[in-house]
Structure 1
Amino acid sequence: MNYNFWHYSNSPAFCCCFRTFAQNCRNIEHLNLNGCTKITDSTCYSLSRFCSKLKHLDLTSCVAITNSSLKGLSEGCRNLEHLNLSWCDQITKDGIEALVKGCSGLKALFLRGCTQLEDEALKHIQNHCHELAILNLQSCTQISDEGIVKICRGCHRLQSLCVSGCCNLTDASLTALGLNCPRLKILEAARCSQLTDAGFTLLARNCHELEKMDLEECVLITDSTLIQLSIHCPKLQALSLSHCELITDDGILHLSNSTCGHERLQVLELDNCLLITDVTLEHLENCHNLERIELYDCQQVTRAGIKRIRAHRPHVKVHAYFAPVTPPPSVGGSGQRLCRCCIIL
Structure 2
Amino acid sequence: MLEQLQAVEDKYKELESLIADPSVLADIERWQSYNKEHAQLAPIVAKYRAYKSVTQQIAEDKALFDEQPDDELRHLIEEELTELNAQKEELDRELPLLLLPKDPNDARNVIMEIRGGVGGDEAALFAGDLFRMYSRYAERQGWRVELLSQNATEIGGFKEVTFLVAGAGAYSRLKYESGTHRVQRVPVTESGGRIHTSAATVAVLPEAEDVDVAIDAKDLRIDTYCASGAGGQYVNRTETAIRITHLPTGLVVQCQDEKSQLKNKEKAMKVLRARLKARAEQEQADAVAADRKHQVGSGDRSERIRTYNFPQGRVTDHRIGLTIHRIDDVLGGDLDELLAALITADQAERLKQVNE
TM-score grouping bracket, smaller chain normalisation: under 0.3
* Higher share of residues assigned helix: 2
Structure of greater relative contact order (alpha carbons < 8 Å, 6+ residues apart): 2
* Higher share of residues assigned strand: 2
Which of the two has higher C-alpha Rg? 2
